[in-house]
Structures are given as structure tokens and as C-alpha cells.
Amino acid sequence: MTSLKAVTPVTSDAVTPVTSNTLKRDMQPSQQKLIRKQCLVVIILIFLIAVIWIGSNYLYTETSESTKTPGFPSKSPPVFPSGQPSHIPSASPTGRSIKKGLIISLQVDSQNAVDHFNGSVSWFYNYKHTPIGWQSTWADDNDIEFVPMIPGPWLWNESGKGKKCFFDEGKSPLCTLTDVIDVLQDAKTTRSNGVEIKRLMGFNEMYNNPPPVDLTPQEAALYWRRLVQPAAIATGLELVSPTLNAKTKGVSWFADFLKECYDKRNDSLYPCDIELIKMFAVHQYDCRESIWNDWYGGDNSKMVTGLIANLGVFGEKNNWKEYILDRKLWVTETSCYWENKNPHPDSKEQCLRITGQMEATHGRGSLVKMEEMENIERYSLWTTWNEQIKPNYLVYKSGKHLTPLGKAYLNPGDKSVDCEFPGTRIYVDDAEHVTLGGNAELFDCESTGTNMVK
């Protein structure tokens, strides 16, 4: 056993300063060698960490640059107001949104018009049963899903410009169930090289006009259970409901449609099954963020409470609320156009509202809100191009250039978007003093007695 020695206290006057030389002198050679090795290991670790960090940032930059999609802005994500998420939940790093779609009418005669959105949208529809012309190839090349639609009580012919047959027994020729099945099966066949067709959209805005222009809820339910529903079953398609909105007319019509369908659930010839309707189609022309939260945002939203009030306990069904809340929403038409009348908002104004540049009245805009809302599965802005209402299209007639609204559709919530109209605007008062180019010309309007540009 080692004996313990008494320790003699050392006074401050006896303390010898400890220097690096003192330590080196007092250390054994083996200790010095060990310390040198430890220092070398630390230096190597620091070097490796630095190399990995620099390499990962370089790789990220290269990947980001290589995955930019032609026609889609390569800018940073929009900066949202404090407390809001700085990303679009359903958008991939390349900019494609699993929710965003396009409406492509027959008036869009050039693929140039839709190429702007190749890296942004994931689905489209055209109010027809099948893609028309170049639409199939475009969808195949860009992995974009087509959704067929039966917009009214008829089937379109192959060109999509005329009606092949009718659901109404008072009109000729009459569509049979086989006709409807064949049309939908043809649609699936045409998409054999692309994204599979999985869903069928139902009647379009039947609540707008009284019959015979639009269908009554009873007529719609009859055609639904006799032709639409069995054809969807035969072709393996999920059903998207006839359209509705949160306003009184839309809610009332759709609630009556559901009542009629539920009432015929045990019909011996044409039973109607409301459970086969998996999604509700909504049309709402409003870009205020608050509207989408209040009107469509869950249990106490205007749409839900309106439907529940109309349905009550119809058919002794006590779980209508559960049924409604279990359905995702497809916003198949939207824009800012009907927010105001006289005047309606033009393309620039709509761009400002959608990109969050009118935060005081519109918050971050409707599309940012829709991307966040779990109960909204899809949306599409009306429309790519249509001569009917000029402020509402995404591209100009040639398809080569985006309108301000088109730029906003690519960049919802991005306050840096330039919403000004391209080119030079010429007002009538100035037209007499400039040379008009292209197809523009100045003329006298006899009915108003004023000069106009056409």
C-alpha cells in the first residue's frame, strides 16, 4: 500500500507561474505525442465537415438550376405576412401543384396557350368527354390528368362541337346507357399513354336558370341514376357531383338533388346512391381569402350550414352533416370577376388580388388559401382563353403571352409579380394623334356618337 504524505500548504509568494514551456518540460514524451495526435484528428474533422457543407450547397444549387421548368418562374417562394406559412403546401419543388388545374375550351386552338402551365398544373378538363385534338399529346407529354365531364343532359359528338344524343326522352336521338359507357370507355382508351382517367364530373351549374334551360333537381337526379351513375360504375370512375356554391340558389338546388337521389335509393329500376358521389364540385367567383375560410372552411362554413339546414333529417337520415364533411371540394371554376359589378375587375386588378398585393381587402388571395385548405382537393381558374369575358383569361389570343391574371395564376401570393398590362395602352382620346398598328383601327360609333378603337 502506498503511504500518504502530508501536504504542506503553499503560500501565494511560493507559486511558480505555469507557462507552456513549463508544461512541455513536465510532460512525458508519450503524453506530448498523444496530444499532437488528438489535435491532428480535430483538424481533420473540421476540414471534412467544411468540405461536406460546401459540397451539399453546390449540389443543391446545381439541382435547383437543372430542374427549372420552362415557362415557370424561377423565383423564390412568395413572402407571406408575419405568422403565415412561407410555402404552398401542395406545390412540389418544381412548382407543380397537385391541386391546380386548367380549363381548356375549344376556343383555345393552340398548344402555345397551355405550355405556359406545363410545370404548374396537374389536371385539366374541357367540358367534354374526351381530350380534343392536340390536348391528348400535350397531356401525355406532361403527365397531366384529364377529367371527363357530362355538363348537361346530352353527349357530345366526336368533334365536341355538336350534340350526339340526348337524355330527355322528348328529344331525338335518345342516349342509351351503352352510349354513355362507350363514350367514357373511349375517353379512358385515349389516355392509355398518359395519366389514367379516374373521375367523372357531373352537370354544370344547373341552378342558374329555370327549366327548360337548366335541369330541375328532380330531372338531374333521374338522368344521374339512369345514365351517369351506372356508366361511371361500369367504367370504374369516381363521381364528382353536379356543381353548387354557397349562395342560396346553389345550395338549395344541390340539397334538393341529394334528397331526390336519396329518396330513390331503393328504386327497382334505377336506384340512386349518394355514397358514390365522392367529391362536391364548387363554383365561386371571389378572390378574398376570408370568403374561402368563412364560406367553405369546414363545420361552420356557409356551404355546410346551408346544406344541413336544407337537408334537415330528410329520409330519416340523421348524419347528413357527416356525409357532407366527408366529401372533398373541387373548385372547378373560380376568378375574381363577379366580386364587383360596374365595373368588373380587369386582369390587372385580379392579378393584384390573387398575388396578395391588396392585402387589406383580400389577404393573401384566394388561391393561397385553397392550397392550404385540406377540404379543397382541386381548383381551376376560369379560363385559359374565351372571347366571352376578356378580363378572365390567362393568355392572350395568340397563346404566346400571359395576361396579368395568367402571371398571377403561376405565382399566387407572390407580391413581386408585375401586374401591369404588357405593351402600350392607347386610349380613344389619344388614338386620333397616333398611328394604330396591327388590326386596331379608329371608327365612329353611330349609336353613341363617339370615337372608338376596334
Helical (H) or strand (E) element with 239:
strand 238-244
Do 336 and 442 lie in one domain? The reply is no
Q: Is it true that the peptide bond before 212 is cis, omega within 30 degrees of 0?
A: yes
User: Dmax of the chain from CA atoms?
Assistant: 125
* pLDDT score at 80: 32
Contact predicate 186/130, CB 8 Å: yes
356 and 402 assigned to the same domain: yes
129 falls within a domain: yes
Residues 365 and 452 placed together within one structural domain of the fold: no
CA–CA dist 198, 233 (Å, integer):
11
What is the domain range of residue 434?
Answer: 426-454
- Please give the single-letter amino acid code of residue 341: K
Residue 213 within any structural domain of the chain: yes
Residue 241's SS3 state is: strand
Q: Say if 75 falls within a structural domain.
A: no
Please indicate, yes or no, whether residues 250 and 359 belong to a single structural domain of this protein. Answer: yes
359 closest CA partner among 285, 290, 286, 421? 290
- Report whether 355 contacts 415 (CB < 8 A): yes
Query: Which regions in the chain score pLDDT beneath 50?
Result: 1-27, 56-94
35: in domain:
no
Q: Could you tell me the CATH number of the domain that includes residue 380?
A: 3.20.20.80
> Which grid cell is 410?
403561376
C-alpha cell at 311: 337537408
Structural domain includes residue 117: yes
* Nearest to 351, CA basis, from 419, 284, 422: 419
Q: Identify whether 32 is part of a domain.
A: no
Residues 360 and 435 in one domain: no
Residues 299, 293 contacting (CB under 8 angstroms): no
Asked if residue 251 and residue 194 are part of one domain, the reply reads yes
Q: How far apart are CA 332 and CA 201, in angstroms?
A: 10
Question: Is residue 222 domain-shared with residue 247, that is, in the same domain?
Answer: yes
Residue of 64, 265, 240, 68 whose CA lies nearest to 148: 240
CA distances from 401 to 87, 135, 341, 385, 420 (A): 27, 19, 27, 12, 13
Alpha-helical (H) ranges within 206-265 are 217-223, 229-235, 248-263
Is 65 part of a structural domain of the chain?
Answer: no
State how far the Cα of 252 lies from the Cα of 250, in Å rounded to an integer. 6
Is 305 found in the same domain as 201? Answer: yes
Provide the Cα torsion 22, 27, 31, 36; round to 10°. Answer: 20
Indicate whether 406 and 306 sit together in one domain.
Answer: yes
The structural domain count of the chain equals: 2
Judgement on whether residues 147 and 291 belong to the same structural domain of the protein: yes
Q: Choose among 338, 331, 336: nearest CA to 363.
A: 336
283: cell is 363554383
Pairing of strands 123-125, 277-283: unpaired
Q: Based on the domain organization, do 180 and 313 belong to the same domain?
A: yes
| 111 and 246 in a common domain | yes
Asked, for residue 318, whether it belongs to a domain, the answer is yes
Grid cell of 118 as nine digits? 406545363
The answer to whether 304 and 298 have CB atoms below 8 angstroms apart is yes
Confidence (pLDDT) at 55: 52
Task: Quote the Cα angle for 217-218-219, to 5°.
Answer: 95
Alpha carbon dihedral 329, 210, 106, 131, in 10-degree steps, equals 50
